[in-house]
Amino acid sequence: MKTAILASQNKNKIREIQAILEKYDFSVISRDEAGIPTDDIEETGTTFEENSFIKASAIIDMIAADPTLDKYKDSPVIADDSGLMVDALDGAPGVYSARYAGEGCTYEDNNVKLLDALEGVPESKRGARFVTVITMIWPDGSRLIARGECEGRIIGEQRGSRGFGYDPLFIPDGYDETFAEMAPEAKNRISHRARALDELEKLLG
């Protein structure tokens, strides 16, 4: 079984990606489990592709520079960058989704700001999509980049207690439940992250 290291420190993302990658015969560990320093990686990119590459390559560099991490010197690193793009807001919050309401903001802060920004916008014009870009990098510099999107709409109030982030406000096309109302297994089958991982599998094959 192959080992892959997830660059993310977000426990929710780690849990979701682990659940999906198991079927691809990867033994997945987080950067924390690998003993990689927990220094924040500054996401300076203007696209999801740029930010996912920045995160993955930074972990590769940390492993190469630390002799105590030699057992991972041949392991690929997987990083994802995800966000919500709302049509009526010209694609915002986009790459700033996690800090839409400012540095140190909570999921609730972001959801409230989004609802305020869409005040008065009719449901017919609340189209949106969740986007995930996954970058998988090997120590030799080779890489795979996979993008997944899930189309849907933003509703006018939060519904559901599952999931995280903007999940209580997002209903995917073809469904009546928000991501936060869906069972995790159902969400994982159609989510932007699942679709990005499906694309990654095709690239790996």
Catalytic residues: 81
Nearest to 152 by CA among 174, 122, 133: 174
Nearest to 52 by CA among 141, 140, 130, 144: 144
Q: Report d(CA 34, CA 65) in Å as an integer.
A: 14
Residue 19, exposed/middle/buried by CB under 10 A (0-12, 13-18, 19+)?
A: middle
